[in-house]
Structure 1
């Protein structure tokens, strides 16, 4: 099913954050982030191939990946930063920026290219993370974030020629090991509500944009949230370790203790937020299945 379905496209394009970054931050930071020599595989925020890598392998078509770890929807609202070697942190391109960079690079996409967009988690993380990674430029609501995302997708379609766009919604952040480790029921509930609200707003904005663009375009929201919830509710059915709260990689402490690697082939999470390699493969298969079934239903 996968090669047959994905092979209809001439190229796959990926925009987004660390959930889709295939090494752009590693190149930006001159090979220093995410931590080389640790668990992260070839600059991915996972211990193996990401879902986007699996789609590339399945499709056999060229891939253009412009996603950056720590990216947000719009740097005018919230910006994400990464540590640079020997210097201050640097702002990474938001999805709005990535869309502009894509236009500058290719001019115009051809109609049979498929674009994936995965972003939003870092925007919400800025609400509970007081560290230096995220810089909030203004107050925002889930509706504002979805509005900015829809504006970027509209520009992608109207000015850069995208006809087929898949928007990956936000995974259930309340189940992230890093959020659970806070041990703060108020932040946990705030995270759950904000994630649900953003996903509702994304669905509404994308549906409205689809109606405005008409049948010449196909905009799809893939429910990444439901995918992860299904795994956490019955991990054994997916070949996942039943302890979904503990990631496979636990960094060493400041005292120099050795990092721990636990069940790297079966854990749901690789670290405090990102999916480990088995979950990445499962996600890729679910994406292809959902899109192929949708295509068959429309034919």
Structure 2
């Protein structure tokens, strides 16, 4: 039992929660290089989902995929395959459908986490092969689509405990900052805040609609990261938090690996490093303990 309350943890979402699903899908080729990404995770060590799975004695199920979006009918994420092609990954809507086929009906003591939304917003900033935009959308539409999946979890699958991890401050991502484009940085800030506000609003409306049959919580991942960047030393993070462990090669520069012993906030252009992952797991546990007090 996790925290003496939850019999099983279920993780849905994108690369922030992926425990190696994309790595297996791409025949152990992505994310790369392997000397940076630990066991196919999008981090240089255990992720927050790994830590929580350990706390639950391994009673967990992870269906999250790197590059996943909220709903592939709006925008989908793709990953590179060994033959040079790209394949579409399951969105959260697809992951919920997969969960239905695997479990049918959830136990009331199971806890479902959903972490998604960053890739949807990335598609508005980074046009190209990674994302396939199929319909125009706004942050409000994204939040409504996410609410539909949460409603399916609660009403159709019988979930009684759902935690939505909102979107981290994308305007602080090293990849966004590296553009040096004030317009992109501002759009990343504006879109992230708008999506997080819309998620909070839609989840509150859904909670009122379905009543106490399912408890829906929104974990403030945005404020979690902001608190670290405001005082990185207090969190045991290198004060130069904008510099990631690994920078991908570009037309102007070769790849860079910072192999010093200082824990860095980011492992790459967007993902949290192992120290921040451990801190996130601890904060999630703290919030859940308070919620169940």
| TM-score normalised per structure 1 | 0.94
Instruction: Provide the secondary structure at the position in 1 that maps to 2:40.
Output: coil
Change (3 A) 1:264 1:103: farther
Q: 1:266 aligns with which of 263, 267, 270?
A: 263
Q: Name the residue aligned to 2:151.
A: 154
Contact 2:246-2:255 within 8 A present in 1 as well: no
Q: 1:281 aligns with which of 273, 278, 283?
A: 278
Give, in angstroms, the shift of residue 291 of structure 1. 1.3
Give, in angstroms, the shift of residue 228 of structure 1. 0.2
Give, in angstroms, the shift of residue 134 of structure 1. 0.6
In angstroms, what is the RMSD of aligned CA positions?
Answer: 1.6
| Counterpart Cα distance in 2 of 1:264 and 1:286 | 24
Q: Name the residue aligned to 2:10.
A: 13
| Counterpart Cα distance in 1 of 2:133 and 2:23 | 24
**Paired residues, number:** 293
Q: Name the residue aligned to 1:145.
A: 142
Q: Name the residue aligned to 2:34.
A: 37
| TM-score normalised per structure 2 | 0.96
Runs of 4+ aligned residues of structure 1 deviating over 3 Å after TM superposition are 251-259, 262-265
1:58-86 deviation line (CA, Å, top 9, x unaligned)? 22251100000000000000100001111
Q: Name the residue aligned to 2:133.
A: 136
Give, in angstroms, the shift of residue 261 of structure 1. 2.4
Where does 1:1-299 land on structure 2 (aligned, <5 Å)?
6-252=3-249, 257=254, 259-263=256-260, 265-296=262-293
Give, in angstroms, the shift of residue 264 of structure 1. 5.7
Structure 2 residues without counterparts, runs of 5 or longer: none
1:34-72 deviation line (CA, Å, top 9, x unaligned)? 115230000100000000101111222511000000000
Change (3 A) 1:61 1:40: closer
| Counterpart Cα distance in 1 of 2:195 and 2:166 | 8
